[in-house]
Chain A
């Protein structure tokens, strides 16, 4: 519930700023009408950028992958000796 309240209050402040900008006419009117759409497009762009950046930065650990495969084989051998078949294919 608190999360929804945070989001709703954020939306209310942003729309209040936008209506205030409309009334005060500091910026030419054609800009103020385009501002919400521009903000939404830039927000989507920012999300996409974060996803792409995270994909580029994501660390792979090849040594740990090898150790993990070794562990899996050991566990399979161990269980096969006791008569349990854990092989998935």
Chain B
């Protein structure tokens, strides 16, 4: 039972990572070569967002890590005092 849940979680993770990779590759590399009246441009957002979204995600990740470390430090100091 447990390994079925593990396998499905692993499959979902790899599917998410592959889809993000292909979407981002299309967005950054292939789309500038396509003519601007192709239908595929509808499915991709504005190219400026291709920079802003990863930067925002990185900033969110770093701030989450800092907050987590800070909370753990405060908790340990409260316990020791």
Contacts and interface: CB of A to CB of B under 8 A. Distances in A.
B55 A45 contact: no
A34 interface: yes
A51 B50 CA distance: 25
Interface in B1-43: 2-3, 6-7, 9-18, 20-21, 24-25, 28-29, 32
A49 B14 contact: yes
Interface residues of A, number: 22
A67 interface: no
Interface string A1-44: 00000000000000000000000000010110010011011100
Interface residues of B, number: 26
Contact of A45 (B6, B7, B12, B20): B20
A40 B16 contact: no
Interface of B: 2-3, 6-7, 9-18, 20-21, 24-25, 28-29, 32, 50-51, 54-55, 58
27 contacts: A31-B28, A34-B28, A37-B51, A40-B54, A41-B21, A41-B24, A42-B24, A45-B17, A45-B18, A45-B20, A45-B21, A46-B17, A48-B13, A48-B16, A48-B17, A49-B13, A49-B17, A49-B18, A49-B21, A52-B13, A53-B10, A55-B7, A55-B9, A55-B10, A56-B10, A58-B3, A58-B6
